[in-house]
Amino acid sequence: MGANPGDVRCRIDSVRTLNDSPPGQAATPEDLLVAVAAGDRSAYTELFDTLGPRTLGLARRVVGSRARSEEVFQEAWLQVWRTASSYDPARGSASAWITTLVHRRAVDTVRHDVAEHRRDERFESARAPAFDSVSDDVVARDERTRVRACLETLTTRQREAIDRAYFGGLTYREVATSLAVNPATIKTRIRDGLERLRTCMGGVIDG
């Protein structure tokens, strides 16, 4: 079974030591991450509670598998604890730093899993007779050519929005924020782009 947020919290004992924020004012993620770098476990727990759900959602969107994404999530947050000292507030927000860390680990996991799957396929194909490998190669090349050709039918804005949403693991709202565009506009671009791809590919794309 995959890990869950409770597993991460159990790895680090909670000790309330964060007293730097003025009375009545909640510490910002930046304040918390700087405190984590100094070894403040209470700050780590509070930061986890603040950003944990969002980053778990990101890991699930990128990885797909629930159990695998929770493994990525736990490993990423342990990395936050270990490497918090490398965070530089002058270079961006704590939220962006942690989100990037989770996203990179998720992408690396997907790449690793794909590579492992391909190795298994090569192993199995080496054991099995090649019935019509030439025909299969021709079909695969034809499919790749069709996909590339259909992607070229999209506008630059449609390709950009689809790339960030489906390959970057971002939500519509996050895509809109990153492109400084209204979320409704992003939804329209993605919907129209997928519809154009579906039509170009003969209806074989599952939107």
Same domain assignment for residues 11 and 98: yes
pLDDT(177) > 50? yes
Name the least confident of 1-15, 57-71, 93-107, 183-197: 1-15
Q: For residue 163, give its domain range.
A: 133-200
Same domain assignment for residues 43 and 76: yes
What the block records as the tokens of 165 is 């949403």
Same domain assignment for residues 25 and 97: yes
How far apart, in whole angstroms, are the C-alpha atoms of residue 71 and residue 94?
A: 22
Give the domain CATH number at 163: 1.10.10.10
Same domain assignment for residues 104 and 10: yes
For all residues of the chain together, what is the average pLDDT?
77
Query: Does any domain span residue 126?
Result: no
Q: How far is CA 149 from the centre of its chain?
A: 27
Same domain assignment for residues 42 and 98: yes
Same domain assignment for residues 75 and 144: no
Same domain assignment for residues 88 and 142: no
The total number of structural domains that make up the chain: 2
> In this predicted model, what pLDDT tens digit does every residue of 122-157 receive, in sequence order?
666 556 544 455 455 555 566 667 767 777 788 888
Q: In sequence order, what DSSP letters do the residues of 6-58 get, joined into one string? A: HHHHHHS--------SPTT-PPPHHHHHHHHHTT-HHHHHHHHHHHHHHHHHH
Give the domain CATH number at 101: 1.10.1740.10
Query: Does any domain span residue 20?
Result: yes
pTM of the model: 0.48
How far apart, in whole angstroms, are the C-alpha atoms of residue 152 and residue 129?
A: 37
Same domain assignment for residues 89 and 37: yes
Residue 165 pLDDT grade (very low, low, confident, very high; cuts 50, 70, 90): confident
Query: Does any domain span residue 42?
Result: yes
**């492992």: which residue's tokens?**
116
- What is the pLDDT at residue 126? 59
Query: Does any domain span residue 67?
Result: yes
Quick one: 47 exposed, middle or buried, by C-beta within 10 A (0-12, 13-18, 19+)?
Answer: buried
Query: Does any domain span residue 123?
Result: no
What the block records as the tokens of 199 is 């039509």
Same domain assignment for residues 104 and 143: no
Between 132 and 41, the higher pLDDT residue: 41
- What is the pLDDT at residue 77? 96
In this prediction, residues 194-200 reach a mean pLDDT of 80
How far apart, in whole angstroms, are the C-alpha atoms of residue 193 and residue 184?
A: 14
- What is the pLDDT at residue 207? 44
pLDDT(183) > 80? yes
Same domain assignment for residues 90 and 141: no
- What is the pLDDT at residue 80? 95
Q: Which residues neighbour 83 within 8 Å (Cβ) at sequence distance 6 or greater? A: 101
Residue 87 pLDDT grade (very low, low, confident, very high; cuts 50, 70, 90): very high
Same domain assignment for residues 156 and 99: no
